[in-house]
Chain A
Amino acid sequence: MFLSLSRRRVILLVVLTCLLLVTLDKRGNPFIDRTRSAFGVVLRPFDAAVNAVALPIERAWNGIADYDDLERENEVLRDQVERMKGSEIEAQSTILEYRELLKLTQLTSRYTFETVEAQVVGDSPSNFQNTVEINVGSNFGVAVGMPVTDGAGLIGRITKVFTDHSIVLLLTDPEYAVSAQVLSTQDQIDAELPPTTSPGDTTPSGIPVENLGTTTTTSTTLAPDPLAPIDPNTTTSAPATSTSTTTTEVEVVRETGTLEGQGAERPLLLRFVDTSSSITSIKVGAIVSTAGGNNSLAPQGIPIGTITRIISQSGSSTPLVEVTPNASLKRLNFVAVVLYMPNNEAVGR
């Protein structure tokens, strides 16, 4: 017999204590939360000591092994920055217009909320959790459920908050889900669809093409040059001043669904709410952003990623849509916590 009586007692005691602790913690226990917070403080000098020893060794090794790669990467990044400068100005003016519109229509978006800048100070030590630790906590107004972004887009949500640090669950974790919307303009779709469709045509799922759910938005732009050739598709409104205003109708297809993580290194999976609408017209490359709404974990308009693959499922009219996040989750450094408080139902409390 492998186990003597005393051994059996020890092992039984260990198992029972673990089960008791798991039960207490899952039900939410303030004492355990306080202990966790205190242990974070206890662990800090140990972390600092290990870092002080490991960091110079790591840097020396990186200097020897990765110098050429870093130099090459640096050049590529410089090029990228130069190219992005132009599009940034354009994007900023669009954001300003968008914010103005939101203000007029009294809608909320990510721009309505304040953000708190933070730095990623630690990665999850476990293989089974996609989390990172950031250096802001309740002392900065951070609360459980708040979305976290970096320069490129959404990265996750806050799952645990301590006084001076918080844990962020990354959006690749299978436990993460957020309502998302796919936005693509009709011309983007037309470029990839067969050139003509006649009345009575249906999508592969049997939906008449003319019934596809579309949203029509109207964008108004100031024509900078009055002598510029006029597009026959545009209509000119009567201007009060000498500046002419052209109005272009842009048809935007908007589809909402739930975006779920599938684990690190795997793309996100988008499941549509309405399986019988225009999802068949959504193409690879379309932009995915947060949908917002009363029960959403994030306000509307935070970019998430782009559609990289559409897989048709046998026996189902709804394809599986894979989305690659914009943010590079392996290289997180500076992030921003959006001080948007989702309701308790969304947080799961």
Chain B
Amino acid sequence: MRHLLFGPLLRILPVGCLALAIQRMVFADHPVLDVKLQFVLALVVAAGVGGGSDRGAVAGFVLGLLYDLSGNTPLGLMALAYGLGGMTAGYVQSLTPDPQWWLVMIFAAIGAAVGEVAVPLGEAITGESGWIGRELVVIVPVVAAAAAVLTLPLVPVGRWMMGVKRKKWKAIPE
């Protein structure tokens, strides 16, 4: 537990701040189909698929806390939602230790969808606006698809951030 929290923390914080700045300055201003793509969530699921569900949960927790601190959401809400997203995406490591790219994309999309749905659900539970409406039908698939695409280049960043070394071996020898 200790190595999980304190080892990568020094890397998560600057990477997280940079990801958050990219989210606020680039992705928040350029919505696709009126949906703001979630770069920080993509980084969380990338950490999850690269390092497993426990590392995904920790990455989601820390990056979500940074998100909460920068915005208007109650502290811990995005941390919980992104933690769930990172954990879900990390299950790919339980299926196979060396997942193919398409499997990475599928789990990244599922993780991102879980993370994004958890936000309004959490808001509703904590007495915030609880904006659960038909918007979700558009928002969730768009965010999930974008996260699936963004995850591929972000997996090495996520691995480095969480201190996961790339495996030297292959599950199926070539």
A263–B18 touching, CB < 8 Å: no
- A10 and B71 in contact, given A50-B26, A128-B120 (Cβ under 8 angstroms): no
A150: interface (CB < 8 Å): no
Out of A6, A32, A265, name the residue touching B54 (CB < 8 Å): A6
Stretch of A17-25, A72-80, A238-246 on the interface side? A17-25
- A20 and B76 in contact, given A9-B1, A36-B69 (Cβ under 8 angstroms): yes
How many residue pairs at the A-B interface have CB separations less than 8 Å?
Answer: 157
A14 and B26 alpha carbons, distance in the complex (Å): 29
A26 and B76 alpha carbons, distance in the complex (Å): 10
A128 and B118 alpha carbons, distance in the complex (Å): 11
Give the interface size class of chain B.
35 or more
- Give B8-32 as 1s and 0s: 1 = Cβ < 8 Å from A's Cβ atoms: 0000000001101111111111000
B114: interface (CB < 8 Å): no
Stretch of A169-177, A251-259, A302-310 on the interface side? A169-177
Out of B61, B67, B94, name the residue touching A125 (CB < 8 Å): B67
- A127 and B70 in contact, given A6-B1, A32-B75, A51-B25 (Cβ under 8 angstroms): no
B113: interface (CB < 8 Å): no
A132 and B58 alpha carbons, distance in the complex (Å): 29
Stretch of B77-85, B98-106, B153-161, B165-173 on the interface side? B77-85
- Give A24-47 as 1s and 0s: 1 = Cβ < 8 Å from B's Cβ atoms: 111000001001100110110011
Residues of A within 8 A of B133 (CB): 263
A47 and B21 alpha carbons, distance in the complex (Å): 5
Give the interface size class of chain A.
35 or more
A160 and B68 alpha carbons, distance in the complex (Å): 13
Interface positions of B from 57 to 99, Cβ below 8 Å from A: 57-58, 60-61, 64-80, 83, 87, 91, 94
A159 and B72 alpha carbons, distance in the complex (Å): 8
Out of B52, B61, B74, B131, name the residue touching A128 (CB < 8 Å): B131
Out of B22, B128, B143, name the residue touching A175 (CB < 8 Å): B128
Out of B21, B57, B143, name the residue touching A50 (CB < 8 Å): B21
Determine the residue in chain B with the shortest Cβ distance to A26: B74
B1–A22 touching, CB < 8 Å: no
B21–A46 touching, CB < 8 Å: yes
- A174 and B131 in contact, given A11-B53, A22-B74, A39-B66 (Cβ under 8 angstroms): yes
B149: interface (CB < 8 Å): no
Residues of A within 8 A of B79 (CB): 14, 17-18, 21
A131: interface (CB < 8 Å): yes
A49: interface (CB < 8 Å): yes
B87–A11 touching, CB < 8 Å: yes
- A131 and B72 in contact, given A9-B1, A50-B18 (Cβ under 8 angstroms): yes
Residues of A within 8 A of B29 (CB): 123
A47–B24 touching, CB < 8 Å: yes
Out of B28, B74, B129, B135, name the residue touching A173 (CB < 8 Å): B129
B143–A24 touching, CB < 8 Å: no
A70: interface (CB < 8 Å): no
Out of A54, A128, A174, name the residue touching B26 (CB < 8 Å): A54
A108: interface (CB < 8 Å): no
- A127 and B58 in contact, given A26-B74, A46-B21, A174-B131 (Cβ under 8 angstroms): no
A221: interface (CB < 8 Å): no
Residues of B within 8 A of A42 (CB): 17
Residues of A within 8 A of B26 (CB): 50, 54
- Give A260-271 as 1s and 0s: 1 = Cβ < 8 Å from B's Cβ atoms: 000111000000
Determine the residue in chain A with the shortest Cβ distance to B131: A128
Residues of B within 8 A of A7 (CB): 52-54
Determine the residue in chain B with the shortest Cβ distance to A37: B69
B110: interface (CB < 8 Å): no
Residues of A within 8 A of B119 (CB): 126-128
B35: interface (CB < 8 Å): yes
- A124 and B58 in contact, given A6-B1, A22-B77, A46-B18 (Cβ under 8 angstroms): no
- A25 and B75 in contact, given A7-B53, A10-B4, A174-B129 (Cβ under 8 angstroms): yes
Q: Could you list 28 A-B pairs, sorted by A, with CB under 8 Å? A: A6-B1, A11-B54, A14-B58, A15-B83, A18-B64, A18-B79, A18-B80, A18-B83, A22-B77, A25-B75, A25-B76, A39-B66, A43-B70, A50-B18, A51-B25, A122-B28, A125-B27, A125-B70, A125-B71, A126-B36, A127-B36, A127-B135, A127-B143, A129-B72, A129-B129, A167-B72, A169-B72, A175-B128
Given A15-B80, A21-B79, A128-B131, 4 more A-B residue pairs with CB atoms under 8 Å apart are A39-B66, A122-B25, A174-B130, A175-B129
